């Protein structure tokens, strides 16, 4: 069964987007069960996204590769302050979503599989040293509730603390000091 994954990155530089596009295209060509379906750059909001569709193993590997690249190429201290769009991490948010025409109430098995993918990606990123907060049905916390635990909403305020922060212990990765360069990633599943 195929699922979708949207990765949101806190930059809109042409160089960063080119690297993300090259990496996603290379991954797409390397496997038959993965497609890059959208690459978006919003210069005004200093935000980009990569959207992939694939089967479980290929999608997880591709999401991990794109996430790792985003973590390497984006330095939040080089991005605009205050942020033109809320953010709390270089890799700001990842959403795994079922691809189905079923009603939301009928998506439980597919959504559970997406939640497992989010959990696996969180573990991978955490082992790479990135603090990760999970959201979604399996975590029992909405995306909005998770964002409220971070500097997401404060990042757009003039005179606000420019460094990312988090008031909850990460589900994966190091606790304590949050890197001003990388911040915190939010990873989860949604219908």
Answer yes or no: are the C-beta atoms of 5 and 95 closer than 8 Å: yes
Low-confidence ranges of the chain (pLDDT < 70): 101-107, 159-162
Spatial contact of 166 and 159, defined as CB atoms under 8 Å apart: no
* pLDDT (0 to 100) of residue 182: 93
Residue 35 Cα distances to 46, 92, 117, 126, angstroms: 25, 22, 17, 26
Sign of the torsion formed by the C-alpha atoms of 94, 23, 74 and 124: positive
**C-alpha span between 129 and 145 (Å, rounded):** 23
pLDDT at residue 105 in the model: 65
* Whether the Cβ atoms of residue 147 and residue 186 lie closer than 8 Å to each other: yes
Contacts of 128 (CB under 8 A, 6+ apart): 68, 71, 173
Contact 46, 83 (CB under 8 A): yes
Q: Which tens digit of pLDDT belongs to each residue from 60-101? A: 999 999 999 999 999 998 888 788 888 999 999 999 999 876
Q: What is the pLDDT of residue 25?
A: 92
Question: Of 79, 102, 87, 81, which Cα lies nearest the Cα of 161?
Answer: 81
User: Catalytic site residues?
Assistant: 85
Handedness of CA 98, 101, 107, 110 (dihedral sign): negative
Kindly report, residue by residue over 158-169, the tens digit of the pLDDT.
766 567 889 999
Residue closest to 33 by CA, chosen among 66, 64, 56: 56
């Amino acid at each position: 069964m195929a699922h979708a994954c949207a990765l949101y990155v806190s930059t809109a530089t042409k160089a960063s987007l080119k690297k993300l596009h090259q990496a996603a295209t290379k991954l797409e060509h390397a496997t038959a069960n993965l497609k890059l379906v959208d690459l978006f750059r919003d210069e005004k909001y200093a935000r980009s996204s990569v959207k992939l569709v694939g089967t479980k193993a290929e999608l997880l590997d591709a999401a991990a590769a794109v996430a790792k690249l985003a973590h390497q190429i984006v330095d939040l201290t080089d991005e605009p302050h205050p942020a033109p769009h809320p953010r709390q991490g270089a890799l700001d948010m990842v959403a795994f979503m079922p691809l189905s025409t079923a009603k939301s109430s009928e998506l439980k098995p597919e959504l559970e599989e997406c939640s497992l993918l989010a959990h696996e990606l969180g573990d991978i990123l955490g082992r790479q040293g990135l603090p990760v907060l999970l959201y979604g049905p399996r975590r029992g916390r909405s995306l909005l509730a998770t964002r409220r635990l971070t500097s997401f909403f404060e990042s757009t305020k003039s005179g606000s603390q420019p460094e990312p922060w988090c008031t909850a212990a990460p589900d994966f990765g190091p606790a304590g000091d949050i890197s001003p360069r990388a911040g915190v990633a939010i990873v989860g599943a949604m219908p």
